[in-house]
């Protein structure tokens, strides 16, 4: 693992180049579907990514995650079959005028990527410890999503692409991967080296959706509160201030 350097600045901020690297990982992260290369991921690299995921924040320090590495092509083909079935079930619920575009979208790279990873949440791990969960028992699920994000950003820094396949029947996936009943599959990820990281998200490039203006999403004091004009004006596109 790389040594963690203590920031030298009196305000505990990173050096400029370190800060820029963090923002670059955030702004250039992509949900990869169609640019995977077949070459394998070195175990040392994968271990770094999993270590980053394992250092995600978790409410009550419950650390509810597990990581199921799926390499076997036969099992991955079975997962792809689950995806295709789920996609056919989802299609009728897409607005009629958008169904043609939906059919064209590349929404998974299950068999094209180097490996798959299922990140799960073991809901038994927080039993007997209501810290942070008494009023919101879903926090173990949210904590696991933080592990997914850590993995994703670390992967971008390593030049590894990640695609989250959400169009899956969770119960069928649990049966296929022998996941016990109290454990919840949170994210099924396609992971691998890529030919490129797209300049824009695939769904934005295809015309499915556009990124919402951040200034329209900032409220002051209450959800209906106006104001914060100076803050809104300070919001810039990624890289605009570099």
What CATH number should be reported for the domain holding residue 54?
A: 3.40.109.10
The reported pLDDT for the residue numbered 8 is 65
Q: What is the mean pLDDT of residues 36-63?
A: 96
The percentage of the chain sitting over the pLDDT mark of 70, rounded to a whole number, equals: 95
The structure tokens 């959800």 sit at 223
Q: What is the mean pLDDT of residues 4-27?
A: 87
Task: Give the global pTM.
Answer: 0.91
Structure tokens at 73: 């092509």
- Whether residue 95 lies inside any domain: the answer is yes
How far CA 26 is from CA of 77, 154, 156, in Å, comes to 31, 10, 8
For residue 201, pLDDT beyond 80: yes
How far CA 198 is from CA of 13, 92, 143, 203, 206, in Å, comes to 30, 29, 28, 11, 12
- Whether residue 63 lies inside any domain: the answer is yes
- Whether residue 11 lies inside any domain: the answer is no
- Whether residue 157 lies inside any domain: the answer is yes
186 in Cβ contact with 120 (< 8 Å):
yes
Structural domains of the chain, count: 1
> Which pLDDT band holds residue 118 (cuts at 50, 70, 90)?
very high
- Whether residue 105 lies inside any domain: the answer is yes
User: Residue 116 sits in which domain range?
Assistant: 31-197
The reported pLDDT for the residue numbered 82 is 98
- Whether residue 132 lies inside any domain: the answer is yes
d(CA 87, CA 107): 9
For residue 6, pLDDT beyond 60: no
Structure tokens at 182: 């109290």
- Whether residue 62 lies inside any domain: the answer is yes
Phi, psi of 87 (to 5 degrees): -65, -40
Of the candidates 208, 166, 173, 202, which has an alpha carbon nearest to the alpha carbon of residue 187? 166
> Between 160 and 101, whose confidence is greater?
160
Q: Which residues of 4-36 are buried (b: 16+ CB within 10 A; e: fewer)?
A: eeeeeeeeeeeeeeeeeeeeebeeebbbbbbbb
**SS3 of residue 114 by DSSP:** coil
* DSSP class per residue in 174-219: HHHTT--TTEEEEEEEEEEEBS---SS-HHHHTTS--PPPGGGG--
Cross-strand pairs, 188:
118
Q: Which of 7-21, 178-192, 213-227 has the lowest mean pLDDT?
A: 7-21
For residue 131, pLDDT beyond 70: yes
- Whether residue 139 lies inside any domain: the answer is yes
DSSP for residue 34: S
First-last CA distance in the chain: 29
The reported pLDDT for the residue numbered 129 is 73
For residue 163, pLDDT beyond 90: yes
């Amino acid at each position: 693992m790389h040594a963690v350097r203590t920031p030298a600045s009196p305000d505990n901020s990173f050096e400029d180049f370190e800060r820029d690297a963090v923002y670059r990982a955030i702004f250039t992260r992509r949900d990869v579907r169609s640019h995977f290369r077949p070459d394998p991921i070195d175990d040392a690299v994968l271990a770094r990514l999993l270590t980053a995921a394992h250092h995600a924040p978790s409410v009550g320090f419950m650390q509810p995650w597990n990581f199921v590495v799926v390499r076997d092509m036969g099992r991955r083909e079975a997962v792809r079959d689950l995806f295709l079935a789920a996609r056919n079930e989802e299609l009728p619920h897409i607005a009629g005028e958008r169904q043609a575009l939906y059919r064209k979208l590349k929404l998974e790279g299950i068999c094209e990527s180097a490996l798959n990873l299922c990140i799960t949440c073991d809901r038994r791990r927080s039993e007997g410890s209501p810290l942070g969960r008494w009023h919101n028992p879903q926090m173990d699920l949210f904590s696991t999503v933080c592990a997914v994000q850590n993995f994703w950003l670390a992967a971008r820094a390593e030049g590894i692409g990640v695609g989250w396949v959400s169009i899956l029947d969770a119960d069928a996936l649990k049966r296929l991967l022998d996941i016990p009943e109290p454990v919840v599959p949170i994210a099924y990820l396609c992971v691998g080296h890529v030919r490129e990281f797209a300049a824009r998200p695939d769904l934005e490039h295809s015309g499915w959706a556009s990124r919402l203006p951040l200034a329209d999403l900032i409220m002051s004091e209450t959800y209906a509160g106006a104001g914060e004009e100076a803050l809104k004006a300070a919001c810039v596109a990624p890289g605009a201030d570099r």
